Amino acid sequence: MRHELSLRGEAFGLRPVADDDAGFIVALRSDPELGRWLHATSARVEDQLAWLARYYERAGDYYFVIERLGSGEREGLISVYDVADGQAEWGRWLLRPGSLAAVESAALIYQCAFDVLGLDAVCCRTLAANERVVSFHDSCGIAERRPLPAYVSQRGQDWDAVEHRLTRAAWPNVDARLRQLARLTARRLQRGA
């Protein structure tokens, strides 16, 4: 949905996605390494613009571009969506190869969910075979984790997933952990890493 939410962290920020980002979205989603975990998508910018037009009309869907502060360089994409009854899912999380925005973008999307939207719980569902991302969520200190057998069927195969669920009550501990890691990343970037 069209929204005006923007969030800033130590080194990265979130801003609303716009039509001008369609080519960037297609490039990320068409990357063979990133795309293997995604539903098949069109490589046509026109099709992405049509998807964005439908997205702008959906309520309870907040889609962001992750940017590096200072330069404004686009680092990736992230969303909070299916907002209803105090709960939502976050996902559509893609980072350009080599980006250091993972920790801070996760912290910012949780901040959006809990501190801006006032949600009670947020979940994230990841294909179990995407071990690196499942491991990332585990490392955030999220205690609620459950397997989702045969969660999705794509490319002719049923895939298991893992759901991580964070509640408002558990958010402060996860927030402190992610902010500490984000500060370390920001220092690393300041030193030119």
User: What's the whole-model pTM score?
Assistant: 0.94
- Three-class SS state of 142: coil
| Per-domain residue ranges of the chain | 7-190
Nearest residue to 13 via CA among 116, 101, 140: 101
Residue 170 to residue 72: CA distance in whole angstroms: 32
Encoding tokens for residue 165? 């669920």
Beta bridge partners of 15: 65
- Walk along the chain (193 residues) and give the pLDDT tens digit of each residue: 899 999 999 999 999 999 999 999 999 999 988 888 888 889 999 999 999 999 999 999 999 999 999 899 999 999 999 999 999 999 999 999 999 999 999 999 999 999 999 999 999 999 999 999 999 999 998 989 999 999 988 878 899 999 999 999 999 999 999 999 999 999 999 887 5
Write phi, then psi, for 153 (nearest 5 degrees): -115, 120
The residues near 189 (Cβ < 8 Å, ≥ 6 apart) are 11, 68, 100
Q: Which H or E element spans position 48?
A: helix 45-57
The CATH number fitting domain 7-190, selected from 3.40.50.300, 3.40.630.30, 3.30.450.40, 3.30.2310.20: 3.40.630.30
What is the 3-state composition of the chain as percent helix, strand, coil, each rounded to the nearest 5?
40, 35, 30
